[in-house]
Structure 1
Amino acid sequence: MQHLDLQVIDQALTWSREGETVWLCTVLATFGSSPRAPGAWMAVIRDGSHLGSLSGGCVEDDFIKRLAEGQFENPAVVIRYGDTDNTQARHITLPCGGILEVLVERLPATPEIREHLGTLKATLEGQRPLMRHVDIHTGSRYFTDDATLGPRVIWPSEEGAPDRVSMRLTPARRLIIAGISAVSSACASFAATLGFEVIVCDPDETACQAFDVPGVTVKTQLPSLYLAANGCHDATAIVALSHDPRIDDLAMMEAVRTPAFYIGVMGSRRTSAERMKRLIRSGGLTEEQVERLHMPIGLALGSKTPAEIALSIMADIVRVQHGKTLHEL
């Protein structure tokens, strides 16, 4: 299962290659409660086929209905949903009581558009981070390199241009799980639900064949060899959950050589202390590299069952991803 953003852009590119005009909808801003955050995408074609979402369904239904009526022929337009003072969509009241501002881009099936969508896809798959700029007045769009942190959507632009939207593009979130165990299955399921691309690696062919979590990619391979051959991008979390040091330790030795934003390994405090000494003594890791490892892994929730442990792991990954310290929880 690909991250939803990647699925949306991949489908938009497929439709464009098939000669379809695509309407790409982006949540620009939310006011009050909202089911989707700024930057969320939905791609739609004229017959109503769509992928992605903007709300709980009411906005999507209204947009598809209006598209069928021949609206949204301009290159770009901003619609405001949930605002009773707005004549365009005053009849739509969001269940959460919030307000959505949505950028709608009409993307005809041209080589230029396919190249643009291809760049979007490549960025989500792990190539260099970019900033995407769209002129609302003309519909023109272009990319610039971006290595900064900040909100996903900037509007008006940082230069104060009211007709330009800027959107940060980063790789789709990925979770690499080293080793198959009961915790691995629950963790993979949670991660897939959260929208992560999930890859599970284990050298045991029988265990891989029996691993059955929908949408998860399974590799019959030592996790350390997978990481050495493929690496990862900086939107990746790597967790070792096998309880077998021959798998977990080797995975950690490769993981610290990557830009992964989260690296963790399962085990008790005693096991973790022993592993730390072993990784430095036998694995050749520096103290700085070992300090990158979250061990024991996960939040201290008092977890006992595999599902509870998996919950604590994914909660900690989300915490780190959003830049929250433990004392802020």
Structure 2
Amino acid sequence: MQNLDKHVISQALQWLRSGESTWLCTVLATFGSSPREPGSLMAAKADGQHVGSLSGGCVEEDFLQQLGDGRFQKAVERIRYGAEGNMGNHRVTLPCGGSLDVLIEQLAPVPENINHLENVLTTLDGQTVKTRRIALDNSPQSLGAQLLHDEPQGARVWLDPDDRFVDVRVGPVSRLIIAGVSSVSIYCAEFALAMGFEVVVCDPREEAWANVNVPGIRAEYMLPSLFIAAPDTCHRATAIVGLTHDPRIDDLAVMEAIHTPAFYIGVMGSHKTSQARAERLQRTGGLTAKDIARIHMPIGLALGSKTPAEIALAIMADILRVQRGKARHEL
């Protein structure tokens, strides 16, 4: 599965390698209604060719028109669409009065820029999460864009309070590993795919797969614990959930997940079941109290969910909460 970020960076890199200047646009912030979230990318050339998007189409059209008219000649600049202000663009109105700030980088086809995008592409294909730090001062002494190590949780875009730089997180496609086929896991898989996750469902039981038909998932007919333990299976943008109520599947998956850099590990079950599982994992699995604290059990947000779809919604909402760096009390 090739995510949109990778597609945009790949095309921008191809244009630079061909000796063509490229404009890389990043959504920095949105206010009100906006179709794309912060961190969304678009790359374009002066002739109007482009890939990716910033909105539902109106912003792209205006940007490309101005680019063709010779605007955006600075190395880095910010503009605001849909609202008044010192970066205001009054010709474009976003739905429901929304607005968005966009960072525009003019990338010349020089070795420094080519090397930087090559490293970004490697990061998108890899196992770690990094940050593109883009200097905003446009001075000759500016370091341009750097690639730094980062954590996978929290806001994807962070603007320095003193306007010296912008940090934009980049990394591999978010992955959800589901241990076991169940009615809840099927809905989780569908929700996760819609949210842009790469979804892997693992279950060695042939009968469990009889009525599974979820286009887009990766099906692994093996114990989830064996899949999780394999090299390069889990990275820092991975979530792992056990959804069968079968300790032979869920417990073993959790015991392996603890040894990975996954940002979310969760197991389905009631408070009573979760307490018993915690004791069992410490007694027979050798997990420490610190290990147990990493596991979300009972899994998901307390939404009063009853049906499989509602439980899956609560699970994916909790995964998104952790991925966005939100504490429960902030909801």
TM range (shorter): 0.7 to 0.9
Runs of 4+ in structure 1 deviating by more than 6 angstroms, as ranges, are none
Deviation at 1:106, TM superposition (A): 2.8
Q: Please say if residues 123 and 169 of structure 1, whose CA atoms lie closer than 8 Å, have aligned partners that are also in contact.
A: no
Q: Quote the offset at 1:151 in angstroms.
A: 5.0
- Work out the CA distance in 2 between the residues paired with 1:206 and 1:109: 55
Output one character per residue of 1:150-186: Cα deviation in whole Å (capped at 9) or x when no partner.
754444x45x3x5x43214253432221222222221
Residue aligning to 1:267: 269
Q: Does 1:142 align with 2:142?
A: no
Residues 176-325 of structure 1 aligned to structure 2 (within 5 Å): 176-204=177-205, 211-229=212-230, 230-325=232-327
Q: Which residue of 1 aligns with 2:101?
A: 101
Is the 8 Å Cα contact of residues 153 and 165 (structure 1) preserved in structure 2?
no
Q: CA deviation at 1:204?
A: 4.4
The DSSP-based 3-state class of the residue aligned with 1:259 is coil
Q: Per-residue CA shift, 1:59-115, capped at 9, x if unaligned?
A: 122223334555445443322212346697321111131332212223345554332
DSSP 3-state at the match of 2:240:
strand
Structure 1 residues without counterparts, runs of 5 or longer: none
Question: What CA deviation, in whole Å up to 9, does each residue of 1:231-288 have, x standing for no partner?
Answer: 5233321111233322211110011112222111122334333322322222222233
Q: Taking structure 1 as reference, are residues 185 and 15 closer, same or farther at Cα in structure 2, changes over 3 Å only?
A: farther
Aligned residues: 325
**Quick check: 1:208–1:219 contact (8 Å CA) kept in 2?**
no
Whether contact under 8 Å (2:29, 2:102) holds in the other structure is yes
Alignment partner of 2:95: what SS? coil
Instruction: Specify the SS of the correspondent of 2:192.
Output: helix
Query: In the TM superposition, what are the counterparts of 1:71-150 in structure 2 within 5 Å?
Result: 71-84=71-84, 89-124=89-124, 125-127=126-128, 129-135=130-136, 137=138, 141-143=144-146, 145-147=148-150
Listed as ranges, the gaps of 5+ residues in structure 2 are none
* Structure 1 residues 68 and 258, CA gap change in structure 2 (3 angstroms): same
With normalisation by structure 2, the TM-score equals: 0.82
Alignment partner, residue 65 of structure 1: 65
Paired with 1:111 and 1:263, the residues of 2 have a C-alpha distance of 41
1:54 corresponds in structure 2 to 54
CA distance in 2, matches of 1:196, 1:227: 17
Query: 2-side partners of 1:288 and 1:198: how far apart?
Result: 27
Indicate conservation of the 8 Å contact 1:3/1:196, yes or no.
no
Q: Distance in 1 between matches of 2:209 and 2:264?
A: 24
Once residues 216 and 141 of structure 1 are traced to their aligned partners in structure 2, the CA distance between those partners, rounded to angstroms, is: 39
CA 1:61 to 1:221, structure 2 compared with 1: closer, same or farther past 3 Å? farther
How far the C-alpha of 1:16 sits from its partner, in A, is: 4.7
Most deviating of 216-225 and 300-309:
216-225
**Residue 97 of structure 2: SS of its match in structure 1?**
coil
Amino acid aligned to 1:100: L
Percent pairwise identity:
55
Query: 1:183/1:97 Cα in 2 relative to 1: closer, same or farther (>3 Å)?
Result: same
Distance 1:225 1:44, change over 3 A: farther
**Cα RMSD (Å):** 3.3
If the length of structure 1 is used for normalisation, what is the TM-score?
0.82
**How many angstroms apart in 2 are the aligned matches of 1:215 and 1:290?**
32
When residues 133 and 206 of structure 1 are mapped into structure 2, their CA distance, relative to the original with a 3 A threshold, is: farther
Q: Distance in 1 between matches of 2:7 and 2:224?
A: 25
C-alpha deviation, 1:316, in angstroms: 1.4
Map Cα deviations across residues 107-143 of structure 1 (whole Å, 9 max, x no partner): 3455543321222233344325334223452686232
Q: Counterparts of 1:169 and 1:187 in 2: how far apart (Å)? A: 25
SS of 1:90's partner is: coil
